[in-house]
């Protein structure tokens, strides 16, 4: 990955780049097509081209031509805030549709295996079916609430008696030994690279209003989307990344000391938010802005609310609340 960063940095600064032997692989992950050495790349190619009528000939087109997902203003100057609503992705109704699409494109093999806290499990089940690949999913016990969705999708899955997704990694070894390919959201650089594209999309949206972010607030899971957005907006506008980790438990998030690949490449301030605080963020968002966002979104918003510094805050809201309702009880 490190070998990709100088060329991506130059591409972000200048808006174009001529791919060489090393960077062609990196740019293939960003452009979601095979890039050949010597090809001249332009940032404009990454701008969304939505169908104004919203008519789609296939589910894959629904995904890629459904972009951009909306950006919603959720805070006024002098602490202006914008949230990227990633539950507008169609399959897992989360940011993980983008990640998983990139992971699947980056590897060959007809049998795929992955461990997931929920959203990748759903996205991979859908994308596997669409692309004719057999999928097996391992879930940590805390992600049991997505099992009914996996049953509907008819995908092979197993719930493990572990609390963290990374602890489940051990279990896939036997599948890999039998020829399955691990999509590996934790280590596969396609995860980071595709979110450089997400960052271009957001930049394109904010630019339409003449806005540049001074801070990016995002939850840390694999660190794929937070690190890529932090890298892009850091290079382009000097924005600072604030990574949110759970002080106890927040679905989809984990702590940096549990091992996290891409956050190491980007200067970031890492902050703790608890489940209760994330839920407070969810309630404030619902009551003030009308969106029922998921708990990791609530965690990012909670962190924004407690910040004092003026500037423009960009947040990512990875998914909505509905799949977590069974966890909440009455609040
Ligand atoms: C709901 C939710 N929020 C945030 C994240 C973290 O995203 P990333 O893995 O890109 O760090 C995840 C990852 O699974 C997630 O499911």
Distance 218 CA to ligand 1 centre (A): 9
Residues 89 and 228 in one domain: yes
CA distance linking residue 329 with residue 95, whole number of Å: 25
Count the helix, strand and coil residues of the chain and give each as a percent rounded to the nearest 5.
Answer: 50, 20, 30
CA distance linking residue 142 with residue 29, whole number of Å: 31
Atom of ligand 1 nearest to the CA of 223: 11
* Number of domains present in the structure of the chain: 3
Identify the CA nearest to 26 among candidates 39, 14, 35, 17.
Answer: 35
The last residue of a domain, from among 151, 182, 213: 182
Residue 91 near residue 126, CB atoms below 8 Å: yes
pLDDT of residue 166: 67
Is position 136 within any domain?
Answer: yes
CA distance linking residue 125 with residue 148, whole number of Å: 13
Residues 203 and 296 in one domain: yes
Is position 58 within any domain?
Answer: no
Residues 71 and 35 in one domain: no
Indicate which residue's Cα is closest to atom 6 of ligand 1.
221
Give the residue carrying structure tokens 């092979």: 156
Beta bridge pairs of residue 72: 83
Contact residues of ligand 1, CB 6 A cut-off: 94, 96, 117, 119, 219-226, 251-253, 294, 296, 318-319
What CATH number does residue 204 fall under? Answer: 3.40.50.1100
Complete edge-to-edge strand list for the sheet that includes strand 71-75: 71-75, 79-85, 311-317, 215-219, 240-246, 268-273
CA distance linking residue 54 with residue 36, whole number of Å: 32
Residues 119 and 175 in one domain: yes
Residue to probe by mutation, ligand 1, list 219, 225, 251, most atoms within 8 Å of CB:
219
pLDDT of residue 303: 98
Distance 255 CA to ligand 1 centre (A): 12
Residues 41 and 14 in one domain: yes
Per-residue pLDDT of the chain (331 residues; tens, 9 = 90+): 889 999 999 999 999 999 999 999 999 999 999 999 999 999 999 999 999 999 999 999 999 999 999 999 999 999 999 999 999 999 999 999 999 999 999 999 999 999 998 999 999 999 999 999 999 999 988 888 899 999 999 999 999 988 766 677 778 888 999 999 999 999 999 999 999 999 999 999 999 999 999 999 999 999 999 999 999 999 999 999 999 999 999 999 999 998 899 999 999 999 999 999 999 999 999 999 999 999 999 999 999 999 999 999 999 999 999 999 988 876 5
Residue 193 near residue 222, CB atoms below 8 Å: no
Range list of H helices, the chain: 5-14, 21-31, 59-64, 96-106, 119-131, 147-153, 173-177, 190-207, 224-237, 275-289, 295-306, 325-328
Distance 146 CA to ligand 1 centre (A): 15
Atom of ligand 1 nearest to the CA of 296: 3
Is position 26 within any domain?
Answer: yes
Beta bridge pairs of residue 286: none
The residue range of the domain holding 19 is 2-46
Residues 194 and 308 in one domain: yes
The last residue of a domain, from among 182, 204, 221: 182
Tokens of 220: 């840390």
Residues 142 and 254 in one domain: no
Distance 20 CA to ligand 1 centre (A): 32
Is position 321 within any domain?
Answer: yes
pLDDT of residue 165: 67
Indicate which residue's Cα is closest to atom 2 of ligand 1.
252
Residue 323 near residue 146, CB atoms below 8 Å: yes
Per DSSP, the residues of 116-178 read -SSHHHHHHHHHHHHHT-EEEEEEEGGGGGGHHHHHHHT-EEEEES-SSGGGGGGGGHHHHHT
Q: What is the pTM of this model?
A: 0.96
């Amino acid at each position: 990955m490190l070998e990709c960063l100088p060329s991506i940095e130059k591409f972000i600064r200048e808006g174009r780049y001529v791919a060489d032997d090393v960077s062609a692989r990196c740019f293939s992950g960003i452009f979601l097509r095979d890039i050949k050495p010597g090809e001249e790349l332009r940032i404009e190619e990454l701008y969304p081209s939505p169908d104004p009528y919203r008519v789609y000939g296939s589910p894959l087109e629904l995904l890629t031509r459904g972009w951009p997902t909306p950006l919603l203003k959720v805070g006024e100057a002098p602490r202006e805030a914008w949230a990227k609503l990633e539950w507008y992705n169609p399959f897992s109704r989360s940011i993980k549709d983008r990640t998983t699409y990139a992971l699947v494109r980056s590897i060959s093999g007809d049998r795929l295996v992955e461990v997931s806290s929920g959203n990748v499990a759903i996205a991979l089940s859908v994308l596997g079916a669409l692309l004719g690949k057999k999928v097996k999913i391992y879930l940590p016990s805390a992600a049991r609430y997505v099992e009914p969705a996996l049953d509907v999708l008819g995908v092979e899955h197993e719930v493990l008696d572990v609390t963290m997704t990374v602890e489940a990694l051990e279990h896939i070894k036997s599948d890999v030994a039998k020829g399955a390919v691990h999509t590996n959201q934790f280590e596969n650089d396609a995860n980071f690279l595709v979110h450089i594209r997400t960052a271009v999309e957001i930049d394109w949206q904010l630019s339409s209003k003449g806005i540049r972010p001074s801070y990016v607030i995002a939850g840390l899971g694999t660190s794929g989307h937070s690190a890529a957005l932090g890298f892009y907006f850091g290079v382009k506008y000097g924005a600072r990344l604030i990574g949110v980790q759970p002080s106890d438990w927040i679905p989809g998030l984990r702590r940096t000391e549990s091992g996290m690949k891409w956050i190491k490449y980007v200067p970031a301030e890492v902050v703790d938010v608890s489940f209760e605080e994330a839920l407070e963020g969810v309630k404030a968002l619902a009551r003030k802005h009308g969106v029922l966002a998921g708990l990791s979104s609530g965690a990012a918003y909670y962190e924004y609310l407690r910040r004092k510094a003026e500037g423009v805050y960009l947040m990512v809201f990875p998914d909505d609340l509905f799949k977590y309702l069974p966890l909440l009880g009455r609040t």
